[in-house]
């Protein structure tokens, strides 16, 4: 089967690509072609060397680019390309263009192709905000307090309606904050959720911009990739009237993350964290839920991580075993 | 103050215009100019004769049209123009163009003008759907089961983010189904909610396409107009992080509506209703909530109707006192 990954040069995109190639199967069919569409080429040469992989560069907000890469052979699409939260807040028009217009153009390209491909959108904790229960439920209203969250919530609604009308076989996976990401800090307001682990482990200082009591809802890169694949493989009928799924995560406070880092790497490493609150980041991140109900995801066969110390250990193991890769998405 | 009403030639648009001219005040300022923008001219000659009124025709999905009619003098905007539920389901692209693109273009025109006008969007029961509690709460998730509901939900999100960023002073009023509308049936899936009262009173037969137990959430035209004005006058600070308000309504079953009609006009009139279920309409209308919690709206000073028999009596009184007007919106 032919698969398209938008944002295919990003950290999660490349990791998903590698996993799909490795298992060489999706929805019961062999992976014959894997198109990685992004503004830049992937940096992983081993990935590019696989004969099933085709790296394509292009602006996904240009409908012609999407039409070119979505044809009746494209059986599954993972739409990962996005402008992250901090950047979408700083550049409103860019966020609207990529997070909203490109998502809509992708759905339109699928509709035009007419073969009802399976489409996976990723969404985020950022669709929630305002007064929230301690544990967000499946029927808790969205009230995003960032432009990123707004754009993701709109993309969810669009996909849901395109799916309801039979234009696509779509589903939305709401991801917790991904941690620990390798590479460098990015413009996501949640960038610190990886930085306060990664930089100290690399012997560098890192600033934590939120209070230690701030509760985050986290998922490791490995579990995120497994959830993307499992989410893609859920039969449409099982989704009922709600194609949006809140993925399992770990609810941990920043203090608990730091304690796990101390447990795994020692107190010295933890001393490399500087605590300096940043109101701009705090306003966004603290509007997100610290946990949500995962019963439906688990019924659908999706799972997350066991504990954050193990997530750190896996990060260390992976980043000793392979070169660091840049992250962009 | 200068006020713009999109959909200003529609039934609610004209009625709102008349009420604004009559009270000659909005947000504490006199009404000096009232622009009624629509694809057609209003049909009420008395309204057009008022020197404060300017009727403008144009396609609101054309950003240039909106920019022409929204300038720094435009202090309040009621955005009522919409493609109704049945039509948006039948013509997906038209619904997207008017209910989504035009709403966004309107917000962009306000942003470009730069003076943060007060903007009132109307939304609908149709933003809800799927498994719902008997009484929808302010924090119940949106899960629209129609393209109209999806487009309205997206417009809500857009307005909320434009308001949060300070581009507009916005608020969304979620309207119950308006009943009793005068005039002719329209393409709204809920058209029957007026038709089964209006046509029998006019000596005509009318078909009810849903089961008598179907519960509707209703608001009279008069109360809707009062709520639009009161909603526009709510101080921004009182809206907190959620500029969307569920307006008070009456929760009545279709059987209760018919019983009220019998009470007001007699059993003979009720015999003019034909009961013939229509799956297309039922699927949309039965996905809507039959009631929602009105505590917040009441705290904000908004109110609805007392009982449906009085709504029918008011309809009869109004439509004896004045000519029938066509309804379009």
Backbone torsions φ then ψ of A54, nearest 5 degrees: -130, 115
Nearest chain A residue (CA) to B148: A161
* In the block, residue with structure tokens 């941990």: A252
pLDDT-derived band at A127, boundaries 50, 70, 90: very high
Does B139 sit within 8 Å of A141, measured CB to CB?
A: yes
Is B136 a member of any domain?
A: yes
Distance from C-alpha of A210 to C-alpha of A281, rounded to nearest angstrom: 8
**pLDDT band of B327, cuts 50, 70, 90:** very low
Of B130, B147, B241, the CB nearest to A241: B130
- Nearest CA of chain B to the CA of A140: how many Å? 5
pLDDT at residue B329, rounded to an integer: 40
Residue A303 falls within a domain, yes or no? Answer: no
Q: Cβ–Cβ of B139/A140 closer than 8 Å? A: yes
Contacts of B283 in chain A (CB under 8 A): none
- In this prediction, residues B63-75 reach a mean pLDDT of 97
Minimum distance, in Å, between the CA of residue A90 and any CA atom of chain B = 11
Contact A154 B150 (CB under 8 A): no
> Are A250 and A304 a contacting pair, CB within 8 Å?
yes
Residue of B nearest to A164 (CA): B145
CA gap A85, A79 in Å, rounded: 16
Which residues in A have their CB inside 8 Å of a CB on B?
A: 92, 129-131, 138-145, 147, 150, 153-154, 157-158, 160-161, 164-165, 240-242
Question: B16 by DSSP, 3-state: which?
Answer: helix
The interface predicted TM-score (ipTM) is 0.94
Which pLDDT tens digit goes with each residue over A189-201?
999 999 999 999 9
Mark yes or no for CB contact A147/B153 under 8 Å.
no
Determine which of B154, B158, B164, B244 to mutate to test the interface with A (most A C-beta atoms within 10 Å): B154
Rounded CA separation A128/A216 (Å): 13
- Per-residue pLDDT of B204-258, as tens digits, reads 999 999 999 999 999 999 999 999 999 999 999 999 999 999 999 999 999 999 9
- From chain A, pick out residues whose CB is under 8 angstroms from the CB of B142: 141-142, 157
Task: List residues in chain B touching A: CB distance below 8 A.
Answer: 92, 129-131, 138-145, 147, 150, 153-154, 157-158, 160-161, 164-165, 240-242
Q: Is residue A11 part of a domain?
A: yes
pLDDT beyond 60 at B328: no
List the single residue in A141, A144, A241 with the smallest CB-CB distance to B142.
Answer: A141
Mean pLDDT, rounded, for B24-46? 97
Interaxial angle between packed helices A11-23 and A221-233, expressed in degrees from 0 to 180 and rounded to the nearest 10 = 60
Instruction: Choose the closest CB to A139 out of B141, B154, B164.
Output: B141
Candidates B46, B305, B83; CA nearest to B187 is B83
Give the Cα separation of B73 and B203 in Å (integer): 47
User: Does B241 sit within 8 Å of A145, measured CB to CB?
Assistant: yes
Closest to B198 (Cα-Cα) out of B224, B175, B221:
B221
Q: What is the mean predicted confidence (pLDDT) over A225-241?
A: 97
Contacts of A139 in chain B (CB under 8 A): 131, 140-141
> Which domain range does residue B9 map to?
2-177+219-246
Of A139, A150, A157, the CB nearest to B161: A150
A323 pLDDT more than 90: no
Torsion of CA B194, B195, B197, B199, to 10 degrees: 140
Distance (Å) from the alpha carbon of B313 to chain A's nearest alpha carbon: 37
User: Distances in Å between the alpha carbon of A33 and those of A20, A25, A56, A69?
Assistant: 10, 11, 12, 12
Q: Which residues of A touch B145 (CB under 8 A)?
A: 164, 241
pLDDT of residue A320: 66
Please indicate, yes or no, if residue A202 is contained in any of the structural domains: no
CATH number, domain containing residue A100: 3.40.50.720
SS3 content of chain B, % helix, strand, coil (to 5): 45, 20, 40
Q: What is the DSSP string of A256-290?
A: HHHHHHHHHH-HHHHTTEEE---HHHHHHHTTS-S
Residue at B295 is within a domain: no
Mean pLDDT of B82-91: 96
Q: Say if residue A31's pLDDT is above 80.
A: yes
**Residue A117 resides in a domain:** yes
Nearest residue in chain B measured CA to CA from A152: B157
DSSP B205-256: -EEE-S-TT-EEEEE-HHHHHHHHHHHHHS-GGGGTT--EEE---EEEEHHH
Search chain B and give the residue with CA nearest A132: B139
For residue A169, tell me if it sits in a domain: yes
Q: Compare all CA atoms of chain B with the CA of A241 and give the residue at the minimum distance.
A: B130
A327 — pLDDT class (breaks 50, 70, 90): very low
Q: How confident is the model at residue B320 (pLDDT cuts 50, 70, 90)?
A: low
- Nearest Cα of chain B lies from the Cα of A137 at a distance, in angstroms, of 9
Over residues A243-262, the mean pLDDT reads: 98
| Residue B34 · residue B20 · CB < 8 Å | yes
Output the six-digit token pair for A165.
């009308």
Would you give the DSSP letter of residue A105? Answer: H
Q: Which of B131, B153, B160 sits opposite A157 (nearest CB)?
A: B153
Q: Do B165 and A241 touch (CB under 8 A)?
A: no
Asked whether residue A157 is domain-assigned, the answer is yes
Q: Report residue B321's pLDDT band, with 50, 70 and 90 as the boundaries.
A: low
Determine the straight-line distance between the first and last CA of chain B, rounded to whole angstroms: 25
Residues in chain A closer than 8 A to B93 (CB atoms): none
What is the C-alpha to C-alpha distance for residues B152 and B172, in angstroms, rounded to an integer? 10
**Euclidean distance between the first and the last CA atom of chain A, given in angstroms as a whole number:** 25
* Residue A162 among the catalytic residues: no
Give the pLDDT of residue B302: 97
pLDDT per residue over A279-313, tens digit each?
A: 999 999 999 999 999 999 999 999 999 999 999 99
- CA–CA separation, B7 vs B36, rounded Å? 7
In this structure, is the dihedral angle defined by the CA atoms of residues B15, B19, B20 and B21, taken in order, positive or negative? Answer: positive
Which chain A residues are within 8 Å of B165, Cβ to Cβ? 92, 147
**B104–chain A nearest CA distance, Å:** 11
**3-state class (DSSP) for residue B192:** helix
Q: In total, how many domains does chain B have? A: 1
Instruction: Report residue A67's pLDDT band, with 50, 70 and 90 as the boundaries.
Output: very high
Count of A-B CB contacts under 8 Å: 64
* pLDDT tens digits along B126-170: 999 998 999 999 999 999 999 999 999 999 999 999 999 999 999
């Amino acid at each position: 089967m032919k698969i398209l990954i938008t944002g295919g040069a990003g950290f999660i995109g490349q990791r998903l690509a590698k996993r799909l190639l490795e298992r060489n199967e999706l929805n019961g069919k062999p992976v014959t072609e894997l198109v990685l569409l992004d503004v830049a080429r992937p940096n992983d040469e081993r990935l590019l060397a696989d004969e099933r992989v085709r790296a394509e560069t292009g602006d996904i907000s240009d409908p012609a680019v999407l039409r070119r890469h979505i044809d009746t052979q494209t059986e599954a699409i993972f739409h990962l390309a996005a402008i992250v939260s901090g950047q979408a807040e700083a550049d409103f028009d860019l966020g609207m263009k990529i997070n909203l217009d490109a998502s809509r153009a992708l759905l339109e390209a699928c509709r035009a192709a007419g073969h009802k491909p399976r489409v996976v959108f990723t969404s985020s904790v950022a669709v929630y905000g305002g007064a929230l229960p301690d544990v967000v439920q499946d029927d808790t209203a969205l009230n995003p307090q960032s432009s990123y969250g707004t754009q993701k919530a709109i993309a969810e609604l669009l996909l849901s309606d395109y799916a309801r009308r039979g234009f696509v076989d779509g589903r939305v996976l709401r991801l917790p904050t991904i941690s620990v990401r390798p590479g460098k800090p990015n413009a996501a307001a949640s960038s610190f959720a990886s930085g306060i682990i990664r930089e100290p482990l690399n012997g560098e200082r890192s600033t934590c911009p939120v209070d230690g009591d701030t509760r985050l809802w986290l998922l490791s890169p490995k579990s995120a990739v497994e959830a993307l694949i499992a989410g893609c493989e859920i039969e449409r009928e099982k989704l009922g009237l709600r194609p949006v799924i809140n993925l399992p995560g770990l609810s941990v406070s920043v203090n608990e993350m730091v304690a796990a880092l101390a447990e795994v790497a020692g107190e010295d490493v933890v001393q490399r964290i500087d605590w300096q609150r940043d109101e701009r980041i705090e306003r966004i991140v603290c509007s997100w839920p610290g946990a949500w109900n995962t019963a439906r995801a688990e019924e659908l066969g999706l799972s997350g991580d066991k504990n954050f110390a193990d997530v750190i250990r896996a990060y260390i193991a992976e980043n000793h075993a392979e070169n660091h890769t840049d992250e962009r998405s």
